[in-house]
Amino acid sequence: MSKKSIKSSCLAFAALLSVAAWPVLGTDLMPQSSIDRMGAQRYWEASLTLEAGETVLRTALLDDNLYVMTDANRVYAIHALTGVMRWSRIIAEPGQTVRGPAHNDQYVFFTTGGTVTVLNRRSGDAAAEPRSLDGVVIEVRHDSATISKGSDHGVRPKDVLQVYRVGDSGEASGDPIAQLRIETTSNRTSRGRLFRLNSGLKAQSGDHVLAEIELPLERVKLPFAASCAAVADEHRIYVGAANQRFYSLDIIGGFQHWQLMTPKTVTATPVLRGPNLYFAGQDGDVVSCTSADRVRNWVFETEAPIFADLVVTTDSVMAASSDRSLYCLDRVTGKRRWRVRFDTPLNQPPVLSGGRVFQQVPELGLVVLDLAGGEELWKRKAGGQFLCQFEDDILLLVGDSLRQIVRIDAKTGKVRELADVADVRFAEADRESQAIILASANGELLCLRSKKAPYLKPAQLAEVLRNDAKMKITERMDAERKAKADAAAVAPAEEKPRLPEWLLEDDFLSSRNTAKPVGGRGLVDAGEEAPPKAESTAKDESDEDAADEESAENSDDEAESDESEGEDSADEDDESGDDEEADTADEDSDSEDEDSSDDEADSEDEDSGDDE
């Protein structure tokens, strides 16, 4: 079988593995006839395994992860475009309020009353942040020392730090003079036992301590109870609190970078975009400030509290206020571009798609506005949750007790098709990929995409599985390395061990077998019987090589040469397996035979030529 064929088979097998992770397939959330009428295709479907009495409470789609959260505060993380289950775990005790989730490049954040839970996006494991630690020896007493770094900086008992002497330049240089094994920690300092590495130098106050450490980040404590979901960048968490303050906290240590007074509580989820932070609250103000140092860029005042989340685009900020108005603000200056007034307060954020704004208005229904100027394009009194746009049509999820999906002309609002989906309770949409994910209360999932979208391929599944597998293996290797270092009471190696090469390859699912393919053209016909197994592949290859060499030397005497080389080959098969020594011995033997009997060989050749 060729390498290409083997690789395709492996990819298909990986696809089967991913599907096998689901306990039940073939959900019945939407019949095929209804899917066809919506201009969609059944992309993937699955069923979650819930405990007895457990039901789905809500769903959220962030980047490539779909999060399904239950009333037991269990979270399932699923790759949105393939349906591959990534992980599931309990986030908090049942009954606790869980806000979020929010993402940064590595982690997912769930906000409870007084903490923010930090998990790896792909594995769901408690996060571990590698970092370099640089501290100073404060005091030395006999064989123990106190340093200027503590638990807030990631130092933990049993950590081993290197102690360096500071040179004239004020920086640590040369080899370490001692090691410090941490025994106790406080927030800002630690104390441990010294082990001398240089008999001529003793550790003293002012020496530097350096280490590469991994800090567990499972939870970050909040100064006060959270009033909204936290968001985060690479280093900091940003969250509003019940004490009418907005905080910037360090992910690693949990210590406070800054706080900002707010006249009233911030309830809407803040938004991070580049270096700027946007948030709004019950004071009715929309605020833009720098995330690094809380410098205010601008403040826009509405006339009533804001409960709906802000929507921030590349050039605008959309705010739905309970003063019965929808505002479109310039993202850089905060100046109002347009305002549309309604008859009732707004409590849901707008949805932007295709240059249109879809706003749910109580008692009025779904109102569709032009994004550029705010002019009304059309409205639907029956309302509906905007899902996605397939070519010239949009899909809405409507109804409470009797759920339906409606296909509507995007320009006019005219209904084209309608389908009953009684069991659907939640819906999320990846509008960039034109994908809709429907969910029921008992954990059934169905992903729909436009009929014109490409089908789900095994290569997509294999890619997700490969990335997740690489990450988990890497994390396990790091954990084993750290455990060995702790057991030996020595500092971890400065460089992490090199990963196996197959983890770094793009095609690690392809075969590594170097044997020649079975069959004349590298193809296997499943309908034919398999050829009998060869007694020895190595023997066959050796016989062929020997025959080729002899044919080149004595092309006129093939028969006799075959007999002679056949004996040599049989002798080689009886050897222990050292092919190179056997070949050398055969060549020497052949050379001696030729030298001792040149006349006889010539005579035989002539006779053989006459016979032919």
* pLDDT one-digit tens code per residue, 85-110: 999 999 999 999 999 999 998 899 99
Between helix 458-487 and helix 3-20 the angle, nearest 10°, is 80
Tens digits of residue pLDDT in 44-63: 999 999 999 999 999 999 99
Between CA 418 and CA 380 the distance in angstroms is: 14
Rg for the chain, CA atoms, rounded:
35
Q: What is the pLDDT of residue 4?
A: 46
Q: What percent of the chain has pLDDT over 90?
A: 52
Confidence of residue 16 (pLDDT cuts 50, 70, 90): very low
Q: What is the pLDDT of residue 425?
A: 94
Q: What is the pLDDT of residue 14?
A: 42
Residue 251: pLDDT above 70?
Answer: yes
Q: If you average pLDDT over residues 549-554, what whole number do you get? A: 49
Question: Model pTM greater than 0.85?
Answer: no
Q: Which residue has the higher pLDDT, 511 or 117?
A: 117
Tens digits of residue pLDDT in 141-183: 989 999 999 887 778 898 899 999 887 666 777 889 999 999 9
Most confident of 24-33, 126-135, 480-489: 126-135
Q: What is the pLDDT of residue 303?
A: 95
536: CB partners within 8 A, 6+ apart:
573
Confidence of residue 486 (pLDDT cuts 50, 70, 90): low
Tens digits of residue pLDDT in 355-387: 999 999 999 999 999 999 999 999 999 999 999
Confidence of residue 258 (pLDDT cuts 50, 70, 90): very high
Q: What is the pLDDT of residue 479?
A: 66
Between CA 28 and CA 24 the distance in angstroms is: 11
Mean pLDDT check: name the lowest of 24-33, 37-46, 146-155. Answer: 24-33
Going by their DSSP bridges, the two strands 219-221 and 128-141 should be labelled as unpaired
DSSP state of 530: P
Q: If you average pLDDT over residues 9-29, what whole number do you get? A: 46
Sign of the C-alpha dihedral computed for residues 318, 323, 325 and 330 taken in this order: negative
Residue 252: pLDDT above 50?
Answer: yes
How distant, in Å, are the alpha carbons of 10, 291, 510, 519, 577 from that of 525? 18, 63, 20, 9, 33
Would you list the DSSP string of 33-64? HHHHHTTEEEEEEEE--PPTT--EEEEEEETT
Confidence of residue 555 (pLDDT cuts 50, 70, 90): very low
Residue 64: pLDDT above 50?
Answer: yes
Between CA 60 and CA 566 the distance in angstroms is: 73
Q: Give CA 112 to chain center in angstroms.
A: 23
Residue 519: pLDDT above 50?
Answer: no
Helix (H, G, I), strand (E, B) or coil at 140: strand
Mean pLDDT check: name the lowest of 50-59, 455-464, 603-612. Answer: 603-612
Confidence of residue 471 (pLDDT cuts 50, 70, 90): low
Q: Which residue has the tokens 């640590």?
A: 172
Tens digits of residue pLDDT in 575-589: 444 444 444 444 444
Residue 488: pLDDT above 70?
Answer: no
Residue 78 contacts residue 86 (beta carbons within 8 Å):
yes
Q: What is the pLDDT of residue 610?
A: 45
Q: What is the mean pLDDT of the chain?
A: 80
E-strand ranges in 73-186 read 74-79, 85-90, 99-103, 107-111, 115-120, 128-141, 144-147, 160-164, 178-185
Residue 116: pLDDT above 70?
Answer: yes
Torsion angles phi and psi, residue 40, rounded to 5: -120, 175
Confidence of residue 342 (pLDDT cuts 50, 70, 90): very high
Going by their DSSP bridges, the two strands 311-312 and 296-301 should be labelled as unpaired
Residue 393: pLDDT above 70?
Answer: yes
Residue 611: pLDDT above 80?
Answer: no
Q: What is the pLDDT of residue 577?
A: 46
| Rounded (5°) CA angle 399-401-403 | 45
